């Protein structure tokens, strides 16, 4: 994550800034949270989006910012330039929307408030794992065990943490592990077509690092 693209740094830095602003709202930002029941009873359904920009405490913010920077960096590098930066931001938001909506579908009658960018961050994680160990920038197949093994480990930890109810800054609150899972799957599935749309076109002539003549 060192020497990270500006757009990845911007997303990470925005989280503590937005939380600082959130703490100054009269209700502490609770009105911006997402409640699954709002999808059916006409409540604050825009919370599907706005809940991504509010958090449950400074430890919660710090965890999402660090993970967002770490896993957002390889994804942002996959989509360089101004067009790529726009694509990265859109990818981040779409993963967050799908994560939150998925949680809402899993708990349709719940009135509990959901906050945080964790679903979007897990989307970056799912996408980044498909780049693990790939300096060429080519994505690993979804069936590649070098993707499936760490993905299974991450999901196992995610479910365990969710069921045990332990995470920094979330003491006493229900952890939305389902949203994390939906975000992760969304990121892993969407990064392929997304990169095809927003990554820079490869040069027609590209010499290898050892300066040999390129092969036909």
- Domain presence at residue 49: yes
The mean per-residue pLDDT over the stretch 76-90 comes to 94
- Domain presence at residue 137: yes
Q: CA 145 to CA 148: how far, in whole Å?
A: 5
- Domain presence at residue 100: yes
- Domain presence at residue 205: no
Q: CA 114 to CA 179: how far, in whole Å?
A: 9
16-38 pLDDT, tens digit per residue, is 999 999 999 999 999 999 999 99
CATH number for the domain including 108? 1.20.1540.10
143-189 pLDDT, tens digit per residue, is 999 999 999 999 999 998 887 765 555 555 578 899 999 999 999 99
Residue 70 pLDDT > 90:
yes
> Would you call 26 exposed, middle or buried from its count of C-beta atoms within 10 A (0-12, 13-18, 19+)?
exposed
Residue 124 pLDDT > 80:
yes
- Domain presence at residue 204: no
Domain that residue 161 falls in: 6-198
Q: CA 112 to CA 103: how far, in whole Å?
A: 11
pTM of the entire predicted model? 0.87
- Domain presence at residue 212: no
- Domain presence at residue 189: yes
Quote the pLDDT of residue 97.
97
- Domain presence at residue 203: no
Structural domain total, the chain:
1
């Amino acid at each position: 994550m060192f020497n990270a693209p500006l757009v990845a740094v911007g997303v990470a830095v925005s989280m503590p800034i937005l939380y600082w602003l959130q703490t100054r709202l009269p209700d502490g930002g609770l009105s911006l949270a997402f409640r699954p029941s709002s999808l059916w009873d006409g409540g604050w359904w825009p919370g599907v989006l706005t809940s991504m920009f509010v958090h449950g405490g400074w430890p919660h913010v710090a965890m999402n910012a660090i993970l967002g920077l770490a896993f957002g960096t390889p994804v942002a590098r996959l989509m360089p330039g101004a067009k790529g930066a726009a694509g990265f931001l859109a990818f981040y938001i779409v993963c967050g929307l799908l994560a939150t909506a998925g949680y809402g579908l899993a708990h349709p009658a719940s009135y509990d408030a959901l906050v945080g960018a964790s679903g979007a961050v897990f989307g970056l994680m799912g996408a980044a794992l498909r780049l693990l160990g790939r300096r060429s920038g080519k994505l690993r197949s979804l069936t590649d065990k070098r993707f499936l093994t760490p993905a299974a480990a991450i999901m196992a930890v995610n479910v365990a943490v969710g069921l045990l109810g332990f995470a920094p800054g979330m003491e006493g609150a229900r952890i939305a592990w389902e949203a994390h899972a939906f975000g992760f799957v969304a990121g892993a599935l969407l990064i392929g077509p997304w990169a095809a749309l927003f990554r820079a076109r490869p040069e027609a002539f590209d010499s290898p690092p050892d300066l040999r003549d390129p092969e036909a």
